[in-house]
Amino acid sequence: MAKKSTYTVADYCEVLQHYAPLSLQENYDNSGLIIGTKTAIVTNVLLTLDCTEAVLQEAIDKNCQLIIAHHPIIFSGLKKINQTHYVQRIVTTAIKNDVAIYACHTNLDNAFLGVNYKIAQTLGLQNISILSPKPHQLIKLYTYVPQPYLAKVHDALFSAGAGHIGNYKDCSFCTTGLGTYTPTQNAKPFKGKRNERTTAEEIKLEVLLTAHQQSNVLAALKKSHPYEEVAYELVLLENSQQEIGSGVIAEMPKSMSQKQLLLLLKLEMKANGIRFTTSKNKKFKKIALCGGSGSFLIKSAIAQGADAFITADVKYHDFFEADNRIAIIDIGHYESEHHTPQLFYDILSKKFPTFALHLSKINTNPIKYF
């Protein structure tokens, strides 16, 4: 993003959606701009895990025009706005004070460098990878290019994000072949004459892209390609995208006992109400984790040989799934995600270094421990 003297809500949305595209959110979620207009000028931003009434008042006091929260303030439609519920009061107060509210929730959970990666970094884990990769996110693009334009099309597709596989970029495959076509009367052919069949030597170019890149990649293809009508095919792949999905699995720098792991979680995650199971494992090295409600990943953690699975909101009966094979550790929902505002700061400060980003000072955890 080019440097500007003023920035709008849309500018902040663009940066966050580049990092965590909205298409990655789960179907029950409500990430994105929830309250406000994209054209509003922003000089101060408040970063928070939850948008509560206290957080909104903090934003007003700090003259913040935008609140960026992990959890959406609205999950489903509001049928009434009569001030009897805290969500209704927040919506009304935010609109009255021209405060926009943006949520970056499960799309940030599913992004590789998102919430779960941040937790793993905080705990000092290494060799981090996605625990449960998200299916149906990869597309194979086939297109046909005359040799003199191959480099131009290549560069355009790669610049739009295509051709990225794990730690490698600019990946493609090319084969040479012959294409035929007959330009009709209204055509403006790159090569050949109207109403005459033409045979042209072309390069078949193949690249991978993710589903959320499709519109940008196709726009780049059509802009860089010399043909009036660009021939291409998109094929949805069964391959899992290894950099998109739920939870992560990683390794401790060195093995530790369960007590040492629990003490580490208490210190680094500020977890003072940990619930856990024991297991046959005496040393803990391979760790799976998922910020927020991650019980749906217990079986994946076991299948991948994790010594422990760290998450939150585990129900009583879900703990039985451990079956002495793995330690299930519930550190609390707030505790598992309270580093998210710092993650927002890390993302945005690279693009908006001279504008005021404020980390909320409000502890939004509604749960107290005795």
Provide the token pair at 326: 């793995």
Question: What pLDDT sits at residue 112?
Answer: 93
Which residue reads 């550790």 in tokens?
A: 329
Question: What pLDDT sits at residue 2?
Answer: 61
CB 207 within 8 A of CB 170: no
Rounded to an integer, what distance in angstroms lies between the CA atom of residue 189 and that of residue 191?
A: 5
DSSP code, position 244: E
Angle (CA) 53 56 59, round 5°:
155
Question: What pLDDT sits at residue 4?
Answer: 74
Rounded to an integer, what distance in angstroms lies between the CA atom of residue 54 and that of residue 215?
A: 40
Question: What pLDDT sits at residue 131?
Answer: 97
Question: What pLDDT sits at residue 35?
Answer: 97
Residues 6+ apart with CB under 8 A from 43: 6, 63, 65, 355, 356
Provide the token pair at 299: 């079986």
Which residue reads 């726009």 in tokens?
A: 219
Question: What pLDDT sits at residue 1?
Answer: 64
Residues 6+ apart with CB under 8 A from 347: 15, 16, 19
CB 249 within 8 A of CB 288: yes
Sort 82 into a burial class: Cβ within 10 Å, 0-12 / 13-18 / 19+.
exposed
E-assigned strand segments in the chain: 7-8, 32-35, 41-42, 44-48, 66-69, 100-103, 126-134, 138-145, 173-181, 198-210, 232-236, 241-256, 275-276, 284-293, 308-312, 327-330, 356-359
- Helix, coil or strand: residue 329: strand
Provide the token pair at 5: 């003297």
Task: Determine the distance from the C-alpha atom of residue 283 to the mean position of all C-alpha atoms in its chain, rounded to a whole number.
Answer: 32
Rounded to an integer, what distance in angstroms lies between the CA atom of residue 141 and that of residue 163?
A: 10
Residues 6+ apart with CB under 8 A from 106: 24, 25, 26, 29, 31
Question: What pLDDT sits at residue 66?
Answer: 98
Rounded to an integer, what distance in angstroms lies between the CA atom of residue 6 and that of residue 11?
A: 10
Residues 6+ apart with CB under 8 A from 350: none
For residues 152-186, b (16+ Cβ closer than 10 Å) or e, as one string?
ebbebbbebbbbbeeeeeeebeeeeeeeebebeee
Question: What pLDDT sits at residue 54?
Answer: 98
Provide the token pair at 300: 């994946």
Residues 6+ apart with CB under 8 A from 109: 115, 116, 246, 290, 291, 292
Q: Give which of 6, 16, 5, 10 is closest to 349, Cα–Cα.
A: 16
Question: What pLDDT sits at residue 227?
Answer: 95
**pLDDT tens, the chain, 370 aa long:** 667 778 999 999 999 999 999 999 999 999 999 999 999 999 999 999 999 999 999 999 999 999 999 999 998 888 889 999 999 999 999 999 999 999 999 999 999 999 999 999 999 999 999 999 988 889 999 999 999 999 999 999 999 999 998 889 999 999 999 999 999 999 999 999 999 999 999 999 999 999 989 999 999 999 999 999 999 999 999 888 888 999 999 999 999 999 999 999 999 999 999 999 999 888 999 999 999 999 999 999 999 999 999 999 999 999 999 999 999 999 999 999 999 999 999 999 999 987 799 999 999 999 998 8
CB 105 within 8 A of CB 74: no
